[in-house]
């Protein structure tokens, strides 16, 4: 079983730069010969191992930047150790200064994750404590080079850290293969990949990649759920199956021997989203297992085709156990390009539409037209749930705090010291509040989280509940938290110091206004917008203050229960989530408004289609307190393709309707204020009245048909 470990490589005088999204360590390794790697360093927090590192001089240790949270006087290093439980031959030294790469960032894609630690005193060099050489200028490591990694990390994802130093042999792989495996996470100028029967898991970020007698890389990040390897969890192909719960009914499970992704695959645009899997053995064809031919050449627009898969029947549903299919039609390239913009390539892609389609879990299935496969299901338009966000990697945001009332999540907050939590002032209620730190899944109480009571509340003295100005509060905890890999602090910066515009929000809040809170921590990228745009958005509202607030937008955003969480730009908290457009949960896409076209009876779906709304354009002078300018345009997420749906013409400029003209109105509204909406469409004839006619003439002008 091979294990893939991603190690990053660039020059730092001319040496190493690394990035990490998770902390990693050694699995399937063997115990090293005691003190055979005298350069190895255990970086510790409160005398607990958190990361690896290695000596490059008698005063400096090289490690990963993410091993430090930004606060000094916390970390110590242990050199000369083999068994961390034994102090024989080891030296414990405090860290004097931290020197992370100036361009280190954790936002979006992590880059430049390398750091020098300067020790408070020089180490005593001996047979147990020595430094390791770094590559010379221009020296590189080639693919298929035999190397090794070492560390005190976990033996498995949910296991405990090793007391004794472990090592594993690995082999470097070429850039193309690494790019296929890691996609946009990979930077060829900074990183290399390595694989072998042993490799890294959680706990030893910062340790060296040793090739010969030289450290060529720093162990950085990998697939945390699979202990840094897409192969550690064996990928298999099931052929001949209809019901996945009945695998033995004529179906066969076969292991995958090798992966051959398109060398130009782009994870951002999904161009060239195609891959060949070579099976470990040939498939014997029969009536239930047969290959399909592949069509060469173009397929005409509006061709009738189909898609199949075991994916989810709805976004929040579970994968289907039985094979499902849906009829679709090919859309012409112009319409597809208008819908998908830069993501669409007419030479490599095609779009389909229909009443059915693919969802999560259907990716990779065929688009079948006639008896041939003409395409592969790649991506689709979905609104996903923070709102439109994704689950955060467990404990990747150790500063996050769940504020709870009676054991239920109420608001978010974040640790700024071992005794204080920052949150939003409006989160305080007249009820006892507790803070949960170190959590990812709020239902899992055994994952290392801690519940601590709140000792005192300190709202901003100028906080206004009506305007939400100065919506910030400090919570003093009843006891200090014990910092660890799961519980840590975040630095605070002023708004003026923000240099990036793309930031992140996180929380356990609702995905939609009427939904339930999330059990697991969610995150979403947002973009800071200019003050003038923000002022226009909240025009006429007392809620916005240029000097005290900032706005952010994105496909994801915050909803009820996310208040008090941090706005994180780079590695620092620059704001506290306060409020948003409540009706849309901070995003016009988060509460999905849909339009039903082609319907007569809303209870019947025949000949009708439901389409999401992409954007809302109210009249700029509309005021909800008065009826003037009560008009709005809705832009649909996709064009309408139904024979019984047509648009209606609008009057020419200057064209008007004269008094006494017979007209009509139609709708599915109530026929009486106490009645429910009517399902079949109703209409009435009306007569346009002159502005000079008295109001009491209105009654006889309306007639029900």
Q: Which positions are annotated as active-site residues? A: 66, 113, 205
Give the residues across from 200 on adjacent strands.
Answer: 26
For 33-49, letters b (16+ CB in 10 Å) and e give eebebbbbbbbbbeeeb
Give the residues across from 276 on adjacent strands.
Answer: 260
CA 164/CA 31 separation, integer angstroms = 7
Give the residues across from 352 on adjacent strands.
Answer: 330
507 phi and psi angles, rounded to 5 deg: 170, 175
CA 388/CA 426 separation, integer angstroms = 24
- In angstroms, the Cα distances linking 140 to 85, 134, 390, 411, 669 are 37, 11, 37, 50, 72
DSSP annotation of 182 reads H
CA 466/CA 541 separation, integer angstroms = 11
CA 106/CA 104 separation, integer angstroms = 7
Residues in the chain: 705
> DSSP letters along 256-275, please?
EEEEEE-TT--TTT-TT--E
- From the list 153, 146, 276, the residue with the least C-alpha distance to 222 is 153
Give the residues across from 3 on adjacent strands.
Answer: 196
Edge-first strand listing for the sheet containing 609-618: 594-597, 609-618, 632-636
Q: In the structure encoding, which two tokens stand for residue 128, read together?
A: 């147990």
Start-to-end C-alpha separation, the chain: 75
In the numeric block, the tokens 């990649």 are attached to 209
Helix or strand holding residue 176 (H, E): helix 175-182
CA 351/CA 364 separation, integer angstroms = 15
CA 40/CA 81 separation, integer angstroms = 8
- In angstroms, the Cα distances linking 352 to 62, 237, 314, 328, 372 are 52, 27, 18, 6, 16
DSSP annotation of 210 reads E
Q: In the structure encoding, which two tokens stand for residue 677, read together?
A: 């909406």
Q: In the structure encoding, which two tokens stand for residue 676, read together?
A: 């429910």
Three-state DSSP at 418 gives: coil
């Amino acid at each position: 079983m091979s294990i893939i470990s991603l190690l990053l490589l660039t020059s730092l005088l001319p040496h190493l730069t690394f990035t990490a999204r998770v902390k990693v360590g050694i699995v399937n390794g063997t115990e090293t010969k005691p003190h055979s790697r005298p350069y190895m360093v255990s970086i510790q927090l409160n005398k607990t191992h958190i990361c690896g590192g290695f000596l490059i001089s008698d005063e400096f240790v090289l490690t990963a930047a993410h091993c430090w949270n930004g606060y000094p006087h916390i970390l110590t290093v242990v050199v000369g150790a083999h068994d961390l439980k034994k102090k024989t031959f080891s030296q414990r030294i405090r860290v004097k200064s931290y020197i992370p790469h100036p361009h280190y960032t954790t936002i979006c894609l992590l880059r430049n994750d390398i750091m020098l630690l300067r020790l408070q005193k020089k180490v005593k060099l001996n047979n147990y404590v020595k430094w390791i050489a770094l590559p010379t200028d221009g020296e590189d490591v080639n693919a298929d080079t035999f190397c090794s990694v070492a560390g005190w990390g976990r033996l498995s994802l949910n296991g405990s850290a090793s007391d004794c130093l472990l090592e594993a042999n690995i082999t470097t792989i070429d850039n193309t293969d690494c790019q296929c495996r890691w996609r946009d996470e990979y930077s060829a100028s900074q990183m290399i990949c390595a694989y072998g029967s042993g490799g890294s898991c959680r706990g030893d970020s910062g340790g060296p990649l040793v090739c010969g007698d030289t450290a060529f890389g720093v162990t950085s990040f990998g697939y945390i759920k699979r202990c840094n390897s897409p192969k550690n969890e064996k990928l298999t192909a099931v052929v001949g199956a209809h019901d996945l719960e009945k695998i033995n009914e004529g179906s066969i499970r076969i292991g995958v021997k090798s992966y051959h992704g398109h060398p130009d695959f782009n994870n951002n645009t999904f161009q060239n989203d195609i891959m060949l899997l070579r099976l470990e053995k040939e498939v014997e064809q029969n009536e239930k297992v047969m290959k399909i031919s592949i069509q060469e050449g173009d397929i005409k627009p509006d061709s009738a085709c189909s898609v199949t898969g075991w994916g989810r029947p709805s976004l929040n549903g579970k994968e289907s156990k039985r094979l499902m299919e849906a009829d679709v039609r090919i859309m012409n390239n112009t319409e597809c390009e208008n819908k998908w913009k830069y993501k669409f390539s007419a030479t490599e892609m095609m779009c389909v539409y229909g009443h059915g389609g693919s969802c999560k879990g259907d990716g990779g299935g065929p688009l079948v037209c006639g008896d041939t496969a003409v395409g592969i299901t790649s991506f689709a338009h979905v609104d996903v749930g923070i709102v439109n966000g994704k689950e955060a990697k467990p404990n990747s945001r150790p500063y996050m705090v769940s504020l709870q009332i009676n054991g239920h999540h109420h608001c978010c907050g974040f640790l700024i010291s071992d005794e204080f939590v920052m949150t939003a002032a409006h989160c305080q209620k007249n009820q006892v509040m507790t803070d949960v730190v170190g959590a990812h899944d709020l239902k899992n109480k055994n994952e290392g989280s801690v519940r601590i009571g709140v000792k005192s509340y300190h709202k901003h003295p100028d906080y206004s509940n009506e305007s939400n100005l100065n919506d910030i509060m400090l919570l003093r905890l009843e006891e200090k938290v014990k910092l660890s890999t799961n519980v840590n602090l975040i630095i605070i910066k002023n708004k003026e110091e923000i240099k990036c515009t793309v930031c992140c929000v996180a929380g356990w809040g609702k995905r939609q206004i009427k939904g339930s809170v999330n059990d697991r921590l969610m995150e979403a990228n947002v973009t800071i917008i200019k003050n003038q745009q923000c002022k226009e958005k909240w025009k006429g509202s007392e809620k916005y203050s240029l000097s005290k607030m900032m706005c952010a937008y994105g496909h994801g955003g915050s909803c009820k229960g996310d208040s008090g969480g941090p706005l994180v730009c780079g590695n620092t908290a620059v704001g506290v989530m306060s409020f948003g457009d409540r009706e849309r949960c901070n995003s016009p896409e988060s509460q999905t408004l849909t339009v039903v076209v082609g319907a007569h009876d809303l209870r019947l779906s025949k000949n009708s289609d439901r389409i999401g709304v992409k954007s809302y354009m109210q009249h700029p002078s509309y005021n909800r307190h008065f009826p003037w300018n009560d008009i709005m345009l809705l832009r649909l997420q996709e064009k309408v393709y139904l024979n019984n749906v047509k648009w209606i013409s609008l009057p020419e400029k200057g064209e008007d309707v004269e008094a006494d003209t017979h007209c009509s109105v139609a709708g599915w509204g109530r026929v009486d204020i106490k009645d429910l909406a009517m399902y079949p469409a109703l209409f009435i004839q009306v007569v346009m009245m002159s502005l000079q006619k008295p109001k009491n003439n209105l009654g006889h002008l309306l007639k029900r048909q």
